[in-house]
Amino acid sequence: HHADAVRRQGTARSPLTVVRALWITPGYPWAGNPVGFIFHQTQAQALAAAGIDVSVIAPTPWVPPGLAQASPRWAAYGGAPRRDQDGAISVQRPRYLTAPRENRFGLAHLSQAIACRHVPKPDIIHAHFAYPCGAAALRLKRRLGVPLVISVHGDDVYIYPGHNARMRRLFVDTMRGADQVIAISPD
């Protein structure tokens, strides 16, 4: 799917040119959480093994001083490395400002897009989940002028668009803005 999307955009590539794919996902395994989002790691490693240059961006909530002691979840966010290497895959976890119920009110993608603004231009972006990563990736797609693939997984389709009219519009705009949408089930 990645290579097809790049070809559809009219980018001529020789067989020896490596496609640079930027993955945006809400999480990626690391030493302190080796199983979280492991299915994304498995997919990224398979693409890397196939010769795709995969970079991962996993926007991570910023943890204010003292909050890590208040909650194991916040402690995990605070302990996640900002940069990591998974074999040939570079992983970055830029921090973003979060707010309570951010997914209900459609704010998370804005702060995640700001956190991801300094990424090098890839050939293609693959975002996991329509919201917030997909909506943030759509902003990057428009700024960088590259194709966008979004994999939808569940809550991003079944729950978030039903929160309110704003979330519904954001979901529809994000799906329409993607060059390709992949669903993990026939539903």
Answer whether 47's CB lies under 8 Å from 2's CB: yes
**Residue 3, pLDDT above cutoff 70:** no
The first and second tokens of residue 163, run together, are 């929160």
pTM of the predicted model as reported, rounded to 2 decimal places: 0.85
Q: Please report the pLDDT score of residue 15 as a whole number.
A: 56
**Residue 70, pLDDT above cutoff 90:** no
**More confident of the two residues 69 and 115:** 115
The first and second tokens of residue 105, run together, are 């009110």
Mean pLDDT score of the chain, rounded to an integer? 86
| 3-12, 14-23, 36-45, 79-88: the lowest-pLDDT one | 3-12
Q: Please report the pLDDT score of residue 76 as a whole number.
A: 85
**Residue 7, pLDDT above cutoff 60:** no
Crossing angle of helices 165-177 and 135-144, in 10° steps, is 40
Percent of the chain with pLDDT over 70: 89
20, 93, 141 from 136: Cα distances, Å:
19, 14, 9
The first and second tokens of residue 70, run together, are 């208040």
**Residue 157, pLDDT above cutoff 70:** yes
| 11-25, 56-70, 114-128: the lowest-pLDDT one | 11-25
